[in-house]
Structure 1
């Protein structure tokens, strides 16, 4: 569905700016790093209401800083069919202010893809997988009841230039990890054979990397459940089940672009016991970070539930590490040879909001939700809670083999996530 593409040429940009006086004026956006922290690939989201897009032609943004064009994209965040967000990433020195100029063109600029989403489905065991951007799965459509796995890589996968992940849409709803050895986007046929059939070929090392994490009956890295003081409630079921505890699961690729990809999940009529919930989840990835952002909102809460965000611990006996010296976030992490067969060093972490964090617990060693450290977060009915899931593999960066380097990265990342950018439209 995607290929890497080149950046807009200087010649093309010169043509735009020399021929169109209205384009020459543009809008100036002043961005100010309000923190004392160096920021790399800091995400910038500008509301459409603040901008003056040209009327008429289907136009595309050009975000210019000095003589450089910053890759950007327009996103429809509220799913109404109209874009409402201009998004790009850029770097800042501490306390730096910079002016970028926003121009508009009717020729679509092409940028190198630094994020991506892959999703494919087959309609029978004998038909090839076809790319898709959305899916609705009912409770009786699990692999064990169908007799085959209908999804490429068991569900959608997403990545940036640092790391990749996948979500078990097949009822398990755990999140798995693809370690990347290159910054390029992994091939579109990961999880498929030459005939387009679903096949597990991603546990073998390739030039781009491979699946490196054993998940089992955990919720993986950044997956979640609900819990009360007496019970863990898994969202979905295990690979051994033929009927889901979620009546309808809906998935959609909301955005896929050079600097941001967004996935959306809705779980209607989830019945883990005698209770009934609905859940909406949004997963976002942008370049430069060894992780992704997840946002979860649950309706139907009784008031005694907590959100339990998972960090699989199948291949480590180490205690969970915790840092709480950041003003906005708490970091929970593990660092060990915790890949398949304990072959490589891997650091994994959750960065969770400090104002919602009330401790952690551990799932049982057996059962339908097991082998996980769980961050315990306060939640309110239908109010979103956001957190980050992070993974540093030694073959992505050899220095991740050192625990101190990994924890220093986590602390620096938390500071970057905490930093606020002031956005001012000057004309």
Structure 2
């Protein structure tokens, strides 16, 4: 009896150790094949896969490998719930190339350089003087609700709202009645926005309006649609997201390869409507594109976006008549605040399945869109001829536009 009891105890101990050892091992692997179906190279492609596709119990340990070499990756919160929903990795593909990527748990994940960033910063330790937030300092926050009575140029937000960037370009969105998007031209590939907007010049203006080593605010928005600003189209006129009960901006992801934020507008008044709007903005490493999507439930079916019109620019557009094709409108020319001879390109990419018409007013080139299943999607992009190794002339800009729209119309093929 004694030996039987000992044998049972030994067997139980061995089973326990096997279970513990199996639970500690990081031997999960999944094979993913990614193919470029275009006849030119695609650099810095971000592939996103739903975490439900993986059987890993340690998503935070997931890494991506090609031929045994780890490539940049990150987890992504895609639903604004504070939980990771997607696994994303960064890949380069030659013309018509297919690559095999191994996704597996990795106890020693490599730290890759940050190439995408999103932020919003509030004023702290301030003195409120006649509605203006004086003194104090800015502090980066995960989420912000615009304060009661918030107006433009009151210095509550660094850079006047939220901002995001890749290693190519930066953008910002005013969190006030203007609700417009603007451009930061970058002369360096570094992530720079965390250091921008803290200082003012002798006249009290933000120093990012003057040239710095990293670049500057290069675009004049005014009352136009800037670059990709979202608005309602009511009676043939643009109505921005200006009148709301409250607005909440939340940073969802902050690199290294994908950065995103969402903005919830409660009680948006336009025309005879009052409704809520949820907007999502995303930028990825190596890309100029901002993906701008909007969810809205309303009887109104005409919305719009567009590009600011400036003198000395050339209007360009594509003309793919297929029902679900992506197209673009764009402007190239001397439309920079950085110098009279600087040239800037701005572009907006839209899908024909949401297009109502192209039009214009005195301030903007306008794309009028309708929702599909209460959602509107489009992209915008900017370039500046002072960028390092950037787009320097109209022909290069047209080449960029045509390749970008080809990529949108021919997404990479993913096999799980």
Find out whether 1:306 has 2:298 as its counterpart: no
Larger deviation, residues 221-230 vs 159-168: 221-230
Give the structure 2 partner of residue 242 of structure 1.
Answer: none
Give the structure 2 partner of residue 208 of structure 1.
Answer: 214
Once the two structures are TM-superposed, the CA of residue 38 in structure 1 deviates from its matched residue by 2.7
- 2:305 and 2:367 in contact (8 A); partners too: yes
Give the structure 1 partner of residue 364 of structure 2.
Answer: 372
- Secondary structure of residue in 1 paired with 2:391: helix
Give the structure 2 partner of residue 61 of structure 1.
Answer: 62
Once the two structures are TM-superposed, the CA of residue 284 in structure 1 deviates from its matched residue by 0.4
- CA separation of 1:207 and 1:67: change in aligned 2, threshold 3 A: farther
Give the structure 2 partner of residue 103 of structure 1.
Answer: 104
Once the two structures are TM-superposed, the CA of residue 356 in structure 1 deviates from its matched residue by 1.7
Aligned-partner Cα distance in 2 for 1:26–1:263: 31
Indicate which of 349, 352, 355 corresponds to 1:354. 352
Indicate which of 406, 414, 420 corresponds to 2:397. 406
- Secondary structure of residue in 1 paired with 2:230: strand
| TM-score in terms of structure 1 length | 0.83
For structure 2, the residue ranges without an aligned partner over 5 or more in a row are: 1-22, 127-133
Aligned length: 381
Higher relative CO (Cα under 8 Å, sequence separation at least 6) belongs to: 1
Give the structure 2 partner of residue 132 of structure 1.
Answer: 141
Find out whether 1:324 has 2:324 as its counterpart: no
- 1:173 and 1:219 in contact (8 A); partners too: no
The root-mean-square deviation of aligned C-alpha atoms, in Å, is 2.4
Find out whether 1:184 has 2:190 as its counterpart: yes
**Cα distance per residue 1:34-93 (max 9 Å; x no partner):** 4444322122011111112235xx732221111431110001212333311001221122
- Secondary structure of residue in 2 paired with 1:221: coil
Residues 71-220 of structure 1 mapped to structure 2, 5 A cutoff:
71-123=72-124, 124=126, 125-137=134-146, 140-143=149-152, 148-193=154-199, 200-220=206-226
Aligned-partner Cα distance in 1 for 2:321–2:167: 26
- CA separation of 1:107 and 1:184: change in aligned 2, threshold 3 A: same
- Secondary structure of residue in 2 paired with 1:253: strand
- CA separation of 1:226 and 1:156: change in aligned 2, threshold 3 A: same
- CA separation of 1:399 and 1:48: change in aligned 2, threshold 3 A: closer
- CA separation of 1:360 and 1:402: change in aligned 2, threshold 3 A: same
**Cα distance per residue 1:275-330 (max 9 Å; x no partner):** 2122111000001222211111222233xx422112011x3254632112385211
- CA separation of 1:113 and 1:95: change in aligned 2, threshold 3 A: same
Indicate which of 292, 295, 299 corresponds to 2:293. 295
